[in-house]
Amino acid sequence: MNDHNYALDHTQVEQQEVSRVLRNTYGLLAITLAFSGLVAFLAQRANLPYPNIFVVLIGFYGLFFLTTKLRNSPWGLVSTLALTGFMGYTLGPILNRYLGMANGAEVVSSAFAMTALVFCGLSAYVLTTRKDMSFLSGFITAGFFVLLGAMLVSVFFQISGLQLAISAGFVLFASASILFQTSAIIHGGERNYIMATISLYVSIYNLFVSLLQLLGIMGSDD
């Protein structure tokens, strides 16, 4: 009887912890997306140039590792906003590039709507079915190196259709990451809401930019 009560108490504690992490994660994610969107809007309106690739890499990975180090302190929230604000700044010039197209506004709005639909749909699927998506770990790892290799090839060789394939690959990669991270929260693989937020934010960012590229490429062919 005592063992049964202990098991029930343990289950209740686990459920409460999952609820807490989910609540904090989605709350912080909403804040970071709003803040990032504001910074992107200001960068777009100011017509700021896209930063040098080395600045992007140093800024992203530097702030990412700083956030990882501070994830258990209140300063982790500050570094999270700094990271997502920086990513929002890089998004501003990208938006200007597509808004300069003949059908740019339609491309941007379509990419935004599709990103919201994919994220909400995938999240709802995992939260409703509570399926364990840990098996996607290998796919995500392999996909990362495949996409990295493809991007390196695209730098040195002009291969027809490669950019389209890379963008499509990133859509799949980001979608798998959303499924994996949401499942990790539910099943106890992630208990730090700051790291969960960063993971979901990066996936949403990659998904949006990749959809922009796909829609932009297809639109330019018309």
Of 2-6, 93-97, 131-135, 154-158, minimum mean pLDDT range: 2-6
Express as a percent the part of the chain with pLDDT over 90: 60
Asked if the model's pLDDT at residue 162 lies above 70, the reply is yes
pLDDT tens, residue by residue, 71-119: 999 999 999 999 999 999 999 999 999 998 888 889 999 999 999 999 9
Domain interval for residue 134: 2-220
| Residues 6 or more apart in contact with residue 59 via CB below 8 angstroms | 51, 86
Number of domains, the chain: 1
| Predicted TM-score (pTM) above 0.75 | yes
Distance CA 16, CA 201 (A): 24
What six digits make up the tokens of 221?
A: 């062919």
